[in-house]
Amino acid sequence: MHRFSRHMLSCTVGALVASLALATLATSAFASGRVDLGGLPSAERHDRFIVHFHDGSPERGSAAALQDTLDDAAGIVGGTPFGLAPVRRMTSGADVVRADRTLDHAETEDLMRALAERDSVDYVEIDKRNQLMSTPSDPLVANQWHHFGPFGIRTNEAWDLADGRGVVVAVLDTGVLPHVDLDANVLPGYDFITDFDMAYDGNGSDAYPYDAGDAVDDNQCGYTHPGQHSSWHGTHVAGAIAAVANNGEGVAGIAHGANIVPVRVLGKCGGFDSDIADAIAWASGGEVVDAPANAHPAEVLNLSFSAEGTCSTTTQRAIDGAVARGTTVVVAAGNHGIAAASASPASCRDVITVAAVDDAGARELRSNHGDAIDVAAPGYDTLSTFNDGVVFAGSDTYDVTYDNGTSVAAAQVSGVVALMQSATHVPKTPQQIEALLKASVRPFPEATDEPIGPGIVDAGAAVASALPTVTEAQPFKSRNFAQDVAHGTVYYLIPAGQPGVTGPTQRIWSGHSGFTGIAVTAKDAYTGAEAVIHLRGTRSNGCNGPKRMEDGVICYDKKEGPLTVSYHTADNPGLAPGRYRATFDVEAVGWHTSYRNRFPMAIDIQP
C-alpha cells in the first residue's frame, strides 16, 4: 500500500489545539514560530497574513529586514512565483502582509511554515475575512422580527451552528398546501381525518395530506361561533418551522434545512382526539392500523392546536409512545387566556408546552399560562407562508397577522429543537431537549402578568448547548452523510497522559467517491517533535464486520456507530499500537446552506 503525501492529497490543512498527545512521535527540528492554520477553512484562497515578530528582532526595527524576510519566505513556496509585501503594522506590533496573488491552501500552508521557521517569528496566522454568517438572503427575512428582534429567539445566532438538516419535523395540523417557499422541504405525509364532513375533501383518511380548507359558516360546528374563512393554518405553521431559505423567495424558516412531514388532523370544525392519537403514533414511527408505515419518522412533533379540558388518556398514551420512540413533542399552550393545565394537549406529560410573547417580550394576551408552561416564544405578527384563498386554495402568499398566538410560538420552538438535533451527532432524548431549552432561555424583560415559564427561548444558546462532546467510541448518527459531504477534516486526539499536541490535518475530498486517504501531521507542543500519520485501511466485507476505511470510504451500518477504524503499524512507522481517539470534522453542503458537524471515531493501530 502506497503512502499519500500532503501534496498527493488535496493539499488542504485544518488546525486543532488538543490537550492530548501522540504516544510515539518521530523527531524533527523545532520551529520557533507558531503556525495557526485555523483560518484556512474561511476561504478557498488567501492573500493576507498576520506575522508577529519577537520584540527586538531585525524585522521589528527595519523595513528592509522585514522585506528581506518576506521575500525569502515567498521564494521557498513552489509553483507560480509571487511577491509578498507589508501592508501595515498593527497596534500589537504584528505586521499585516499581503501576497500579490491569492494562494491555494497548500501554498498558504507552505508560506506560513516558511515564515515560522525564522527564529525572529513569534506566530503566523491568516488575516481572514469575517462576514455576517448564515443569515438567509430571502427578501422578507428582515420582516421576520421573531428571528432577530429585541425579544425574538435569536435564530440568526443559531444559524451559524445548524440549519436543521437531516431532521424531520411532523406538523400535525390542517395539512399543507403546495407553496413555492416550502415545497422543497416537504416529505410525503398522511391525512388522518376519518370524518367525511370534517375532512372537507370528500373522503376520509388517506395518503394525501393536502389542506382542503376549514371554512365554516356561523354556528356550523354545533355551538355559537362566527363564521370563518379557511385558515391555511398548517401551511403557516410549517413555514415558520422550515420555509426554504436562500431561494430568492419570501421568508426563511427557523430550521430551513429540516424536512416537514405534513400530517392532517384538523379540518372543518377541528379534529378528534382519536384521529390525533393515531397521527401522533404514525408520525413518530409507530404502527397504525390501515395506515402504511411512515417512511420518515419524525424527531420532532409540532402540535399547534388546543382544546379546553385536561389531557385525555388516549392522547397521553399516544404521546408516551412517541416519547418512548425518542420523539420530542412540542405543543401550543392555547389561546384561551386560562391556565394551560386546563387545556389539552398543553396539560399532557412529557411535552414541551409553549406560551406566546409579543414583540415587547410580554405575554401575548390570549396566551394560556401557569405552571404547565415550559418556555415562551414570539406569537405576535410572525410572518410565514400562507395562501390567499378564502374557502378553497388560491395563490401563494405570506401572512403576518392571522396566526398570532401560541400556534406559531410552538412552531418556533419546534424549529429550534430541529436545529438542536441537527447540531449534535447523537440525537438528544426528549428529556434532554427540554432541559437544555429551559436552561438556555433568556429572561423576560420584566415580570409577566401571568407565569409563562422561565423565559424566552434563545435559539443560539440552545443550539450551542446541544453541540456534541467528543468521547472515545461514542455512538453517532450521521445525517445525510453519503449524500451531502463535500469534504472532511480529520483531527486526531491521543489518549490522556501524553504531552499535548497541536497538529494540522489534511482536508480530504469526499462525496460519493469517498476518501482517498488521510494523513495527519502531529506536533508535540512541548518538544516540537513531529510525526506524519498515514491512515488507510483495507477493504472490509461490507459493514457487517469491524468498521474500517473501505477503499477510503468510511463504512457505517445504518449510519450509526460506534465507528472504529482499524489500521496497521506498517502504514504508520513510529506509531505505537493501541487505541487512539479521533474526531471527524465534516462540512456538508446541501441545497441551500452548509453545516459543519463533528463525529467521533476510535482508531485502532494494530501490530
Residues that are catalytic: 173, 233, 407
Cα distance between residue 495 and residue 484, in whole Å: 31
The C-alpha torsion from 421 through 425 and 430 to 433, rounded to 10°, is -60
Backbone dihedral angles phi then psi of residue 601, each to the nearest 5 degrees:
-135, 155
Q: Are 84 and 99 in contact (CB under 8 A)?
A: yes
What b/e readout covers 210-222, taking b as 16+ CB neighbours within 10 angstroms? bbbbbbbeeeeee
Q: Are 245 and 156 in contact (CB under 8 A)?
A: no
For residue 188 the three cell numbers come to 410525503
For residue 105 the three cell numbers come to 491552501
Q: Which residues share a beta bridge with 587?
A: 487, 596
Q: Are 311 and 329 in contact (CB under 8 A)?
A: no
Query: Could you tell me which of 487, 544, 491, 541 has the C-alpha nearest to residue 514?
Result: 487
Distance of CA 448 to the CA centre of its chain: 32
Task: Give me the residue label for grid cell 399516544.
Answer: 318
Write the DSSP symbol of residue 508. E
Write the DSSP symbol of residue 143. G
Q: What angle do CA 313, 316, 317 make, to 5 degrees?
A: 85
Backbone dihedral angles phi then psi of residue 408, each to the nearest 5 degrees:
-75, -25
